[in-house]
């Protein structure tokens, strides 16, 4: 049953993703490979849309994936499933806040999980880079990357410049 599958997949994303919105991406790409609910190309479009619409990217992508799979009900299930683990975990922690902060095992697990989340995200970054890059991509990517070394800019600046570059390019270049 598709609804149950959606619930399980997105619940496990909420439970295991570590390190913010883009940390859901490794899981979403894994779903693309295993469940065939959407393709990696569709997911890349979803990520682009999610980055320029309001709300946490993780929630956007969950809603989108749920909707493409089985309509509004799918979207509702995916979105609530992805935040349900947060709700359970945070409510428990709020009640046990003091013990939680000072437990050595908890500290050691967090200490190990942080670089894990970083490694997973780095892997996604590399894979997306290899999939998406073309000559025009490099022409846009490299200057922005170099700029980011020197100046701390609003994330929206990068998205705005990139969108503008893509828009202009669409009038010159026949296909993407």
Partner 1 sequence: MEKNLYNIYKTFFKVGTLLLGGGYVILPLLQSELVDKRNWIDNDELCEYTALSQSIPGLIAANLSIFVGYKLRRTGGALAAISGMITPAFLCIIVLAKILEEVIKLKFIQGIFWGVGIGVLILIYLAIKEIWHKSVIDKFTFTVFFIIFLLSVFLKISPALLVISAIVTGVVRQAILNRKKPEGEK
> What is the maximal distance between C-alpha atoms in the chain?
61
Q: Within 94-153, which residues bind partner 1 (CB under 8 A)?
A: 94, 101, 104-105, 107-129, 132, 137, 140-141, 144-145, 148
Q: Which of 6, 27, 37, 77 binds partner 1 (CB under 8 A)?
A: 27
Q: Which of 6, 7, 26, 81 binds partner 1 (CB under 8 A)?
A: 26
d(CA 65, CA 25): 12
Q: Phi and psi (nearest 5°) for 39? A: -95, 165
Nearer to partner 1, 2 or 12 (CB): 12
CA 171-61-83 angle, to 5 degrees, is 160
Residue 35 found at the interface with partner 1 (CB under 8 A)? no
Question: Min. distance of Cβ 123 from partner 1 in angstroms?
Answer: 4
Residue 96 DSSP label = T
Residue 165 found at the interface with partner 1 (CB under 8 A)? yes
Question: Min. distance of Cβ 138 from partner 1 in angstroms?
Answer: 9
Question: Min. distance of Cβ 5 from partner 1 in angstroms?
Answer: 15
d(CA 12, CA 30): 12
Question: Min. distance of Cβ 37 from partner 1 in angstroms?
Answer: 13
Q: Answer yes or no: are the C-beta atoms of 2 and 33 closer than 8 Å.
A: no
Nearer to partner 1, 4 or 174 (CB): 174
Nearer to partner 1, 1 or 50 (CB): 50
Residue 22 found at the interface with partner 1 (CB under 8 A)? yes
Binding to partner 1 by CB under 8 A, coded x per residue (else -) over 62-91, reads -xx--xx---x--xx--x--xx-xxx-xxx
Distances (CA, A) of 20 to 13, 25, 69, 74, 137: 12, 10, 24, 23, 26
Question: Min. distance of Cβ 158 from partner 1 in angstroms?
Answer: 5
CA dihedral 27, 33, 36, 37 (to 10 degrees): 20
């Amino acid at each position: 049953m598709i609804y149950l599958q959606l619930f399980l997949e997105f619940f496990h994303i909420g439970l295991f993703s570590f390190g913010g919105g883009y940390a859901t991406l490794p899981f979403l790409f894994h779903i693309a490979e295993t469940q065939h609910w959407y393709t990696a190309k569709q997911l890349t479009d979803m990520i682009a849309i999610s980055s320029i619409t309001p709300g946490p990217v993780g929630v956007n992508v969950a809603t989108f994936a749920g909707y493409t799979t089985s309509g509004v009900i799918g979207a509702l299930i995916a979105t609530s499933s992805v935040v349900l683990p947060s709700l359970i975990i945070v409510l428990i922690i709020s009640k046990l806040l003091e013990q939680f902060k000072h437990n050595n095992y908890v500290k050691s697990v967090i200490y190990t999980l942080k670089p894990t989340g970083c490694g997973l995200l780095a892997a996604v970054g590399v894979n997306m880079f290899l999939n998406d890059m073309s000559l025009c991509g490099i022409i846009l990517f490299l200057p922005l990357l170099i700029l980011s070394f020197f100046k701390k800019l609003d994330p929206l600046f990068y998205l705005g410049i990139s969108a503008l570059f893509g828009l202009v390019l669409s009038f010159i270049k026949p296909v993407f």
